[in-house]
Amino acid sequence: MKRGALGRAALASVCTAWLVYGCGDAGEGEAQGEHTAAAHDHAAREGGDAPLADRSVYQLADPWVQANGEAFRLAQLRGHPVLVLLFYGTCEHACPILVHDLQRLDAALDPEQRVAVRYLLVSFDPERDTPERLAAYAREHGLDPPRWTLLHGDPDQIRALALVLGIRYRPTGDGGFSHTSRITLLDREGVVRAQIDGLERPQEPLLTPLRAMFAARDDAASP
């Protein structure tokens, strides 16, 4: 009954929900509702006109900072299949392998698919992974824009993204992070479609739904 009420009419308020979450100001009344509705419109314009799907990760509307120093909203990825990895730059073992896993997956795609796919790498470590450091990391690993996006955020923002992706992590006290080694496939609307955990895993669980997305679009495009 109440789930059924979560129709499109409710979606306009979803970003409002997130902005309440994402801002520490207390005591706003209706004025905040107007403010966040405007922010929602802005986000919607950036990512497309239709309201976000009710499970879209892009409801996390707070802006991040890209490696080039510019602001970035997740909704800017709308329209692209996206592979998401949470990582940190000083990670010596798991993260480089996971990045390599993404590159291996990319190599398995057809050239026209490769053009459309986006890779999103979000750092657990806002202190050390400054945008400048992320830019250097991208250069070292050949992660070129616009297909590869590396993001710096604040701790609350990182935790929220990790939680919607089901990723657990904590600082280990020696500058590292314990974390779930997970690659997530988002569809063109930012909805989680597949995940694999672990390093150097077979990639069919990601490649099969990813290829299916392209096949569905090809079908829709043909007469």
Partner 1 sequence: MALVLALAGRVAGEVLQEGEAPPGGMLRVAGGEYVPFYPVRGEGNVSVAPFDLDATPVTNAAFLEFARAHPAWRRSRASPLFVDAAYLSHWVGDLDLGDAARGNQPVTFVSYFAAVAYCRSAGKRLPTEAEWEWAALATPEGGESPSEVTQRILAFYARPRGDLAAVGTTPANRWGIHDLHGLIWEWVEDFNASFASADNRQDRDLELGRFCGGASVGAEDVKDYAAFMRFGFRASLEARYALHHLGFRCARSLQ
Burial class (CB in 10 A: 0-12, 13-18, 19+), 31: exposed
Min separation Cβ 89 and partner 1, Å: 13
Q: Are 44 and 79 in contact (CB under 8 A)?
A: no
Work out whether 24 is an interface residue with partner 1 (CB under 8 A). yes
Q: Are 155 and 142 in contact (CB under 8 A)?
A: no
Work out whether 14 is an interface residue with partner 1 (CB under 8 A). yes
Cα three-residue angle 126-170-147, rounded to 5 degrees? 50
Number of neighbours of residue 165 by Cβ within 10 angstroms:
19
Work out whether 133 is an interface residue with partner 1 (CB under 8 A). no
Considering only 70, 127, 136, 178, the residue that binds partner 1 (CB under 8 A) is 178
Q: Which is nearer to partner 1, 170 or 217 (CB)?
A: 170
Considering only 138, 179, 183, 210, the residue that binds partner 1 (CB under 8 A) is 179
Work out whether 65 is an interface residue with partner 1 (CB under 8 A). no
Min separation Cβ 188 and partner 1, Å: 17
Positions 97 through 126 that interact with partner 1 (CB under 8 A): 97
173 conformational bin, left if phi > 0, alpha if psi -120 to 50, beta if neither: left
Identify the CA nearest to 19 among candidates 76, 65, 62, 74: 62
Work out whether 54 is an interface residue with partner 1 (CB under 8 A). yes
Read off φ and ψ for residue 95, nearest 5 degrees: -65, -45
Q: Which is nearer to partner 1, 52 or 67 (CB)?
A: 52
Work out whether 195 is an interface residue with partner 1 (CB under 8 A). no
Q: Which stretch binds partner 1 (CB under 8 A): 9-17, 67-75, 106-114, 135-143?
A: 9-17
Q: For 24, what's the count of Cα atoms within 13 Å in the CB-facing half-sphere?
A: 2
Q: Which residues bind partner 1 (CB under 8 A)?
A: 2-3, 5-6, 10, 13-14, 16-18, 20-27, 29, 33, 54-57, 59, 91-95, 97, 159-160, 162-164, 166-170, 172-174, 176-181, 197-199, 201
